[in-house]
Chains A and B, each alone.
Chain A
Amino acid sequence: MDFILFHLKKLFTILKNEVFVLPSRVVVGLFVLFLILFPVIFKDPYWMRILILTSIFAIFAASWDLLSGFTGQMNFGHALFFGVGAYGAAFLNLHAHIPPWGSIPLGALVAVLAGLIIGIPCLRLRGTYLALTTLAFPIILMGLVFAFPDLTGGELGISGIDRLADARIANYYIAVVVMLGLGTIMWKITDSNIGIIFHAIREDEVAVRAAGINTTRYKLLAFCLSGFFAGIAGGLYAHFMRIAGPSTLEVSMSFGVVIWAIFGGIASIYGPIGGVFVLNILLEFLRFWEDYRMLMFAGVVLLTLLFMPDGLFPWLRDKIEKECPRCKIRNIAWRDTCRVCTAPLD
């Protein structure tokens, strides 16, 4: 009993001193709580479906951020990983009869392999060259998919694969929990030493090399990690939709992930995840005006960028929090002194 009480007390202290002091952390907590309680309160299968797809795309967008936001290796062909993950999981499920919990990670490993195959040649390129070259890979793969319809199902894709789970609500919890878990893992990766090196590579690669760090190895690591997470998103998508088709490799998929991530704010992990949720749900609400839906969507993106070129979430965060000039710890905007070192905030 004492043991439980001790941990409850500890949890409460952490909540009080680390979470409730910052509005952004409270918002994240409320968001997680909302996602977990949503099916209990609303029970609406249509909105559950929307949130499942949104969660899957959130993993996808965050994985783009891990590669392109953090290391600055602009990848315009991120759909490649998604598509390879989807097709890989579908093949393994259909031909080797591996159930979804096995086929999705294995499919993601195939996507890692794809990341290595395109990463090794592409690391010679930089900046815009890299961006425009990576755009080519999913299109090459799509051409191959269409050219060998016996193997890949051509335009129709591979259908008839297993469901993720039987009930919609089980699907929902799998997608949401995987999204929250992988999001946390990605955030932890970017918060570790590796993440700092990724940051530094984006800011100044020459300086990182001069510090004795093999940047090529780290960039390749970024490609593989990002490919893995995007591959898991692809596998989840294939098993949820029960089809792996060429639409997973489309250019609009690659552009979509760039829009979500930059709209939400790059190099933050929470930015792209939030960006996907805001934009996808906005797109759903715009359904009442079906014909003008995509036009409104483009308009919202354009106007948001004019006022917040760094992305939506970093802008919001800077509005409600400010950094202590002395100890660099974040505080609520309306505090006069820093909550840790009591230095006056300007």
Chain B
Amino acid sequence: MNLVIDIVISGLISGSVYALLAIGFSLIFGVARIVNIAHTAFYMVAAYCIYYVSLKMGLHPVWGMLLAIVLVSLLGMLCYQLFINPIREHEGAVLIATIALAIAFQEIVSIKFTGTYLSVPSLIKGYFTILGVKVFYQQLLTFCAAVLVMAVLWVFLMRTRLGLAIRSTAQDREVANLMGINEARVAMFVMGISVGLAAFAGAVVVPLTVLEPHMWMPPLIMMMAVVVLGGLGSLKGSFTGAYIMGFAQALVVFLAPMGAYLKGSVALSIMIVVLLIRPEGLFGVAFEEER
């Protein structure tokens, strides 16, 4: 019984973090067709930003989180304007520009903070027990905050004018342009929102994990798997896919021998099997063949 609760908690938390990351990645892919490899690098930058504000400057971690989300969103928009927008037409160039950005962030962080493992104390100390299993308040907070932000994002996309513009640009860029939507500006806003979501994921997960300059790699791969599993550009798909992947990982870690090594392999194999049955992912909309 304890094992079941452990699996549920672990699955819910990693699922929520993957969902936050994958929704952001999916948004910018849907609107601007950019495969943003640097997405999780922004998540790492946010985590380090919180570390710096709360431990080096001595402010309350909540300030660090707010500051990190704002700063990283601005950083994302700046990077988009400087490095990605001028070469939007060249798919390959955009791809390695984002890889180069990720490497640059990783190097800046490792020069500034060195490669040592760092950690940030949790916002709320303490825990409660369900059926003899410790549940830390921080874990509960992470989960609730993630779900809340996703709900807010849903309302934003469905109920506001900018949300409508984003959805229509994702559906058909040219027609959206003809309807008077400034497509370039929408793309920049979406970049900000998407990177902001990554920063938020970094903020909620930072007390539960260790900080090191390579921490962007493992979530990057899982995030991409989630996005492909759920269907590119589909938010519902990213949400469902994230929890499927989270629970698959948790199950493997707790139940299989050598689970810690195999968790990635099993989760990615699930993705491949799903793709073999449905090549456009679980909720994917088949994009018209771009010729």
Interface residue ranges of B194-244 to A (CB < 8 Å): 217, 220-221, 224-225, 227-228, 232
- Please pick, from B35, B86, B276, the residue contacting A131 in the complex, using a CB distance under 8 A: B35
Does B280 lie at the interface of the complex (its beta carbon under 8 Å from any beta carbon of A)? Answer: yes
Looking at chain A's contact residues, is the secondary structure mostly helix, strand, loop, or mixed?
A: helix
Contact status B264-A140, CB under 8 Å: yes
| Interface 1/0 per residue, B125-136 and A, CB below 8 Å | 000000000000
Kindly state the separation between the CA atoms of A26 and B87 in the bound complex, as whole angstroms.
31
Known: A133-B228, A309-B90. A263 touches B265 (CB 8 A): no
Give chain B residues whose Cβ lies under 8 Å from the Cβ of A266.
92
Out of B96, B106, B289, B291, which one reaches A258, CB within 8 Å? Answer: B96
Q: In the assembly, what is the distance between CA of A294 and CA of B101, in Å?
A: 11
CB contact under 8 A between A132 and B289, given known A121-B272, A147-B262, A251-B221: no
Which one of A95-103, A212-220, A236-244, A299-307 contacts B? A299-307
Assess the B276–A121 pair: CB atoms within 8 A: yes
Chain B contact residue count (CB 8 A cutoff)? 49
Q: In chain B, residues 255-291, which have Cβ atoms closer than 8 Å to a Cβ of chain A?
A: 258, 261-266, 268-269, 271-272, 275-276, 279-281, 287, 289, 291
Task: Look across to chain A and name the residue whose beta carbon is closest to the beta carbon of B228.
Answer: A132
A291 to B103, CA, bound (A): 13
Q: Using a CB-CB cutoff of 8 Å, which residues 251-281 of chain A contact chain B?
A: 251, 255, 258-259, 262-263, 266
| Contact of B279 (CB < 8 Å), options: A129, A144, A306 | A129
The reply on A139 being an interface residue by CB < 8 A is: yes
Contact size class for A? 35 or more
Question: Contacts A143-B261, A147-B261 hold; do A259 and B99 have CB atoms under 8 A apart?
Answer: yes
Beta-carbon contact of B265 and A129 below 8 Å: no
Q: Does chain A have a CB within 8 A of B78?
A: no
Name B64-111 residues within 8 Å CB distance of A: 83, 86-87, 89-90, 92-93, 95-97, 99-101, 103-104, 106-108, 111
Q: How far is the CB of A308 from chain B (nearest CB, A)?
A: 9
Asked if B17 is an interface residue, CB under 8 A from chain A, the answer is: no
What per-residue 1/0 map shows which CB atoms of A283-294 lie under 8 Å from chain B? 000000001101
Known pairs A136-B271, A298-B100; A306 contacts B86 (CB<8 A): yes
> What mask results when residues 114 to 129 of chain A are scored 1 for a CB within 8 Å of chain B, else 0?
0000000100110111
Q: List 27 A-B contacts (CB under 8 A).
A: A128-B29, A129-B228, A133-B275, A139-B268, A142-B264, A142-B265, A143-B262, A143-B263, A143-B266, A146-B258, A204-B291, A206-B289, A251-B220, A258-B95, A259-B96, A262-B95, A292-B107, A294-B106, A295-B108, A295-B111, A298-B104, A301-B97, A302-B83, A305-B83, A305-B93, A305-B100, A309-B89
A: residues with CB less than 8 A from B are 121, 124-125, 127-129, 131-133, 135-136, 139-140, 142-144, 146-147, 204, 206, 251, 255, 258-259, 262-263, 266, 291-292, 294-295, 297-299, 301-302, 305-306, 309-310
